[in-house]
């Protein structure tokens, strides 16, 4: 019997172990590339309250996270741990798009499977690097805001594209150059190199969000600028801090009009 794309994506979301999750994503990718996955007899879509995470992961509110002062070992450990966690959650975000949004084109699923596989590579790069500092994933508390944002936008692919890749992940493009600068100044050159690789890939990931956001607007005959801005307001994203990274955002499919709006209307 052939495996089903949505069922194995769901299995990967709820897998608790790191190894189980990464293996599941790579299996999805290889089966998809050999056209061995069906879309029949699928598990029904439902609200997944929490993705599978290793037992040691402690979820706290964002305000209770440890400080990330790069001048001492624990600070750089906390910093790399926070990024490692973002990449772990990014795997869930990619898988959830595949699992949840049905009846899309082959091109759509190919994009999201490739993206999710790249998130696995990002996680492995950072998780391996974390060990070089003597820490393990789970040694520091983490927050679950990215998954909560996915849950809030679970009923609309258009909203999901606007708030996850085109808001939360695009924010990563804005802050990455200054983070890399801080790391360089503090002498963490390997960390900086890993961040540069992730930054380059993330431009592509945000670009995938822009591509499908635009395609959905066109299909629904909606003005993409007005739609984007109204979704940002609906979700309360009205206080984007400057600076924004125009160059990276343009490469990731933002329009000049959207970027001008950010520059003039936001803080």
Minimum CB–partner distance for residue 113 and Fe ion (Å): 14
Distance (Å, rounded) from C-alpha 246 to C-alpha 84? 25
Residues that bind Fe ion (CB under 5 A): 87, 90, 119, 122
* Residue placing its CB nearer to Fe ion in the complex, 202 or 229: 202
Minimum CB–partner distance for residue 202 and Fe ion (Å): 6
* Residue placing its CB nearer to Fe ion in the complex, 137 or 227: 137
* Residue placing its CB nearer to Fe ion in the complex, 122 or 249: 122
What is the total residue count of the chain?
267
* Residue placing its CB nearer to Fe ion in the complex, 176 or 227: 176
The 3-state DSSP class for residue 3 equals strand
Half-sphere exposure of residue 99: CA atoms within 13 angstroms, side-chain side:
26
* Residue placing its CB nearer to Fe ion in the complex, 87 or 117: 87
Minimum CB–partner distance for residue 205 and Fe ion (Å): 6
Tokens of 221: 């005959």
Minimum CB–partner distance for residue 2 and Fe ion (Å): 30
Minimum CB–partner distance for residue 121 and Fe ion (Å): 8
Distance (Å, rounded) from C-alpha 63 to C-alpha 76? 18
Phi, psi (degrees; rounded to nearest 5) at 233: -65, -40
Phi, psi (degrees; rounded to nearest 5) at 58: -105, 115
Distance (Å, rounded) from C-alpha 19 to C-alpha 45? 25
The 3-state DSSP class for residue 59 equals strand
* Residue placing its CB nearer to Fe ion in the complex, 37 or 164: 164
Q: Are 214 and 224 in contact (CB under 8 A)?
A: yes
Minimum CB–partner distance for residue 122 and Fe ion (Å): 4
* Residue placing its CB nearer to Fe ion in the complex, 39 or 171: 171
Minimum CB–partner distance for residue 91 and Fe ion (Å): 8
Distance (Å, rounded) from C-alpha 191 to C-alpha 196? 9
Give residue number: closest CB to Fe ion: 122
Tokens of 80: 């790399």
Cis peptide before 243 (omega within 30 of 0): yes
Cα-to-chain-centroid distance, residue 57 = 18
């Amino acid at each position: 019997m052939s495996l089903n794309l949505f069922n194995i994506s769901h299995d990967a979301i709820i897998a608790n172990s790191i190894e189980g999750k990464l293996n599941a994503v790579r299996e999805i990718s290889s089966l998809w590339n050999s056209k061995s996955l069906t879309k029949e007899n699928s598990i029904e879509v439902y609200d997944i309250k929490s993705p599978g995470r290793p037992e040691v992961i402690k979820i706290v509110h964002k305000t209770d996270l440890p400080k990330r002062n790069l001048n001492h070992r624990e600070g750089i450990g906390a910093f790399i741990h926070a990024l490692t966690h973002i990449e772990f959650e990014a795997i869930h975000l990619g898988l959830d798009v595949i699992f949840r949004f049905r009846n899309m084109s082959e091109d759509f699923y190919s994009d999201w499977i490739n993206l999710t596989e790249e998130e696995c590579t990002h996680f492995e790069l950072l998780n391996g690097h974390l060990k070089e500092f003597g820490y393990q994933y789970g040694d520091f508390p983490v927050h679950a805001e990215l998954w909560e944002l996915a849950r809030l936008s679970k009923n609309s692919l258009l909203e999901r594209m606007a708030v996850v890749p085109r808001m939360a992940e695009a924010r990563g493009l804005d802050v990455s150059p200054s983070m890399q600068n801080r790391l360089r100044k503090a002498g963490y050159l390997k960390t900086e190199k890993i961040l540069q690789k992730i930054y380059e890939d993330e431009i592509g990931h945000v670009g995938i969000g822009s591509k499908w956001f635009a395609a959905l607007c066109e299909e629904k005959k909606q003005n993409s600028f007005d739609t984007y801005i109204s979704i940002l307001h609906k979700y309360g994203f009205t206080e984007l801090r400057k600076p924004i990274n125009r160059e990276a955002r343009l490469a990731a499919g933002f329009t000049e009009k959207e970027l001008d709006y950010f520059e003039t209307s936001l803080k």
